[in-house]
Amino acid sequence: MKKDGVKLFVDGKRLDGRELDELRPIKMEVGVLKRADGSAYLEWGENKIIAACYGPREVHPRHMEEADKAIVRVRYNMAPFSVPDRKRPGPDRRSHEISKVTKEALESVVLTHLYPKTVVDVFIEVLQANAGTRCAGITAAALAMADAGIPMRDLISSCAAGKIEGKVAVDMMGAEDNFGDADLPLAISPQKKEVTLLQMDGNFTRKEFEEAFNMAMKGCLDVYEIQKQALLKKYEV
């Protein structure tokens, strides 16, 4: 995240014209895949992500099942054509890491005790990437699970904040992510504002961290409102 003579502000505004506390445009839709139990499509800035949920269903291989609860499995994947330089197909260290933290973030709200010896499978496919795919993927996955009718005590909403040229900003785009100073992805269960994911890349002072955390928290709550509207829209007459 080192800057090398790259300007991230023009006339006091970010490169895409946003204010420091302004999210990129977000569009969400559920029920986009007929063969999945639940699905969601999300556009967040230039990110385009589709998520599918299957289950609860039998666990394969069977030795992985839990006798007293359902397990949650998540697969995060970036398509080879999702970035300007073609990505090598298949999982890598980053996709494994994001799959793991996404699973932990989502599993925290699933009522797994209701479906012992089963699995809830969630697949996240990044079709086009421009920074923030971790948060966008978590948000889309939670929508897909809700669309599938998975019993949950809350949705999960996610957003990140970061530091660019010494200023704290929410929802960094590609150039800001590549050349900024720090990044702070956050996921919450919005009703109680419980943190289910918090990571940090780069350095913040304590004051900057608190500002970034509060900014990301507000972003999560704004995302939550869009999630609710997407779910309601499916059932409008």
Hey, what CATH topology would domain 16-232 get?
Ribosomal Protein S5; domain 2 (3.30.230)
Query: How do the domains of the chain map onto residue ranges?
Result: 16-232
Residue-level pLDDT, tens digit, the chain, 237 residues = 445 567 888 877 898 989 999 999 999 999 999 999 999 999 999 999 999 999 999 999 999 999 999 999 999 999 999 988 877 887 789 999 999 999 999 999 999 999 999 999 999 999 999 999 999 999 999 999 999 999 999 999 999 999 999 999 999 999 999 898 999 999 999 999 999 999 999 999 999 999 999 999 999 999 999 999 999 998 885
- How far apart CA 148 and CA 140 sit, in angstroms, is 12
Is pTM beyond 0.85 here? yes
167: its two tokens: 């200023």
The residue among 102, 115, 94, 34 whose CA lies nearest residue 74 is 102
Letter for the amino acid at 202?
G
